[in-house]
Amino acid sequence: MISSKTKEKELQLDEIKTIEELNSIPKFKPWVIDNLTKKRLFLMILSFILTLGPIRFIIVILLHLICLIFMQIMVIGTKPQKPYSNFRKRLIEIVTQFLCRLACFFYGYVHIKFVGEKNYKNWKKNRNERIIISNHSSLLDMEVILSFITGGFVAKESVRHMPFIGNINKCLQGLFIDRTKKNSWVFEEIKKRGEIPGLFPLVIFPEGTTSNNKCLLSFKVGAFSAGMPVQPIIIKYKACFPLSFLDLTDTYYHPLVVCMSQFCNLYNSIEMTFMDPIVPNSEEKKNPKLYSQSVQKKMNEVSQLPIINSRFRDSLEYREIIKKIQKQKNCKKNK
């Protein structure tokens, strides 16, 4: 376990001049990605053309559009945060899972290795765990999860306004969290949702932000505040190019390059692990922090992903320093 309070190797943050210096700081390790050399960039562009990247991109957009239109039709005559009829729920589940799995296929994720199929079948049959917990590496996580589980996501408020993703999450009865509000409001909303029968399960990323898929970040306690059983899942990506699954906001490469990387491979793979459900003991029900640490430790043991106690604010700091370094580089070029 690496603490985010580790001394910065005598390097002050305001003295950082290069990406290499920034990436050497332990608390920023969760956002370090493999260097995309000019040679790899050329191969990526070539691969994008040869693997029909533009056509696949258009197909994915169309699939999202179909899913969105379908969702909008399905919610006609319904009330927000009120259970749908069984027929409506089942139809949403079948169509959403099919379209999301098809989208993953055109992204290049042809094979999804499923670990813990017995746990998945038990969960699907009983649906006892109303809260799903997952690690978080990319916006693509949502589509991967929706390929198997139909549920609403707890997402930051800004996601509400994202094309397709925000609208679809609203239709799936997801929650949008305003990070400026007090934690007690978040806890209450999650607890309320978890206790309403008939709603889609709630999918939560307790890390609160994306990382490079090489570690587990600190868990926020909101997902565990209700003291309810949780169903943990772990997603691992295996992509040819280092940007092929990343959040656009978490890298110093141009968004166009990151977007292109999504469609430059004909074959990537994903490993999805459906763990045993976790039921809190009496002490953990009273102490959400203890419960979150217990779940994090079990996910660490199963995934073998190291725990790095970095947080959302560290990712913001990392991005700000990246912007500063890029600005300095541009100033030097213009001289």
Q: Does 9 reside within a domain?
A: no
Q: Is residue 154 part of a domain?
A: yes
Sign, Cα dihedral of 207, 255, 262, 148: positive
Asked if residue 179 belongs to a domain, the reply is yes
Residue 113's DSSP bridge partners are 271
- Res 225 pLDDT > 80: yes
Residue 27 belongs to some domain of the structure: no
Kindly report the number of other CB atoms within 10 A of residue 214's CB atom.
15
pLDDT at 263 over 50: yes
Residues 6+ apart with CB under 8 A from 173: 80, 81, 152, 199, 200
Tell me whether residue 183 is in a domain: yes
Instruction: Determine the pLDDT at residue 107.
Output: 86
Helix, strand or coil, per DSSP, at residue 326: helix
**CA neighbor of 165 nearest in space, from 247, 239, 105:** 247
pTM for this structure? 0.83
CA distance 213 to 305: 8
Whether 6 shows a pLDDT value over 50: the answer reads no
Nearest to 245 by CA among 272, 217, 212: 212
Give residue for tokens 């040819």. 240
DSSP state letter for 13: G
β-strand 109-115 against 308-309: which pairing, if any?
unpaired
Placement of tokens 């292109």 in the chain? 260
Most confident of 5-9, 160-164, 273-277: 273-277
Residues 214-235 have a mean pLDDT of: 91
List, for residues 141-150, the tens digit of each pLDDT value: 989 999 999 9
* CA 28 to each of CA 9, 57, 229, 293: distance values in angstroms, whole numbers, following the listed order: 13, 32, 32, 21
Within a domain: 316: yes
Task: Report the domain count for the chain.
Answer: 1
Which of the residue ranges 5-14, 140-149, 266-275, 318-327 would you say has the lowest mean pLDDT? 5-14
Please indicate, yes or no, if residue 5 is contained in any of the structural domains. no
Question: Do 276 and 117 form a contact (C-beta atoms < 8 A)?
Answer: no
| Structural domain range at position 235 | 35-334
199 occurs within a structural domain: yes
**Model pLDDT for residues 153-199, shown as the tens digit of each residue:** 988 788 888 777 788 888 898 888 876 666 666 777 777 777 777 88
